[in-house]
Structure 1
Amino acid sequence: MSEITYIRGDATLPPVKGVKIIAHVCNDIGGWGKGFVLAVSRRRPEPEAAYRAWHRARAGNDFGLGALQLVQVERYVWVANMIGQRGTGSGGKGVPVRYEAIDAALARLAGPAAELDASVHMPRIGCGPAGGRWSRVEPLITERLVRHGIPVTVYDHGD
């Protein structure tokens, strides 16, 4: 069985050939303004615009914890907006990360990734402003993607 590949670099610019999906975690309240989403927006405006429109129309769609939105930004590049955190701040109620929601979104990502024959690229999702622990997220990625033959690269930002 394959394993997750770890490299230093920018997850918004995967240095591989073929179809690529850049996956990241979003919150469930429509906020887009901290963490990796800023790097995504610096490269491409489409994922933020799609996320905001998805949130605005949430009464009539699947927007919510565990949901997945795939946004094509180039011929061979997609961005996966995954709703994996409740709110944006701890506010005394614990961290915003929701591991079960990340798990559900990753499960939803596996099918399209396989159909597109895509590799998946991400930072340490859920472990920035969402406050999660990588020791809890990594096994979810392994179970939902790697075990199904989907190549995954995790990027630690280089200085």
Structure 2
Amino acid sequence: MTLPVRYVEGDATAPVASGPRIIAHVCNDVGGWGAGFVVALSRRGPEPEAAYRTWYRGRATNDFRLGAVQLVPVQVDMWVANMIGQHGLRRAGGRPPVRYEAIEEALGRLAEHALRLGASVHMPRIGCGLAGGEWSRVEPLLRAGLGERGVPVTVYDLPGR
């Protein structure tokens, strides 16, 4: 059963839902953590940042790369999905850091985790902040990667935006 992407006004770091929940966001592939949505995540707890930094440091011997997903437990029945969908930190050659193909791959991996856990997925408009992506290109990836596989998805917009 295909589920629609649900939009709400609120804070994606505090998902409004019962049952298992995954907070998903896009990370870069250069080990940077300190601007954008990750700042709000870090205010909630140290686990996602610490796990990402360890994952990055061990990249020579693990799966850290564009399209990879790291699921980090943060509370009972709540995880953060660090998804590598951004190459670098700034525009290069006129191209923004977002990598749609990596986000698409990461969403497929995220769907597997969500289905295994029976979890809903909660996120800001991934890839569209500092990564420079366009929501009109990301939303179809969400519908195909998660919604068409029966994973409930809620996208949060901060109040006043």
TM over 0.5: yes
Amino acid at match of 1:40: L
Amino acid at match of 1:134: W
Which residue of structure 2 lines up, in the alignment, with residue 84 of structure 1? 85
Amino acid at match of 1:72: P
Which residue of structure 2 lines up, in the alignment, with residue 47 of structure 1? 48
Distance 1:123 1:15 in 2: 13
Secondary structure, in 3 states, of the residue corresponding to 2:60? Answer: helix
Distance 1:111 1:59 in 2: 25
User: How much does 1:93 deviate?
Assistant: 3.8
Which residue of structure 2 lines up, in the alignment, with residue 13 of structure 1? 14
Which residue of structure 1 lines up, in the alignment, with residue 64 of structure 2? 63
Distance 2:92 2:154 in 1: 32
Distance 1:138 1:44 in 2: 28
Paired residues in the alignment total 159
Q: Does 1:139 align with 2:128?
A: no
- Unmatched runs of 5 consecutive residues or more in structure 1: none
Which residue of structure 2 lines up, in the alignment, with residue 38 of structure 1? 39
Distance 2:81 2:18 in 1: 18
User: How much does 1:47 deviate?
Assistant: 0.3
- Unmatched runs of 5 consecutive residues or more in structure 2: none
After TM superposition, where is structure 1 displaced by more than 4 Å over at least 4 residues in a row? none
TM-score, with normalisation over the residues of structure 1? 0.98
Identity of aligned residues (%): 64
Distance 1:59 1:19 in 2: 32
User: How much does 1:100 deviate?
Assistant: 0.1
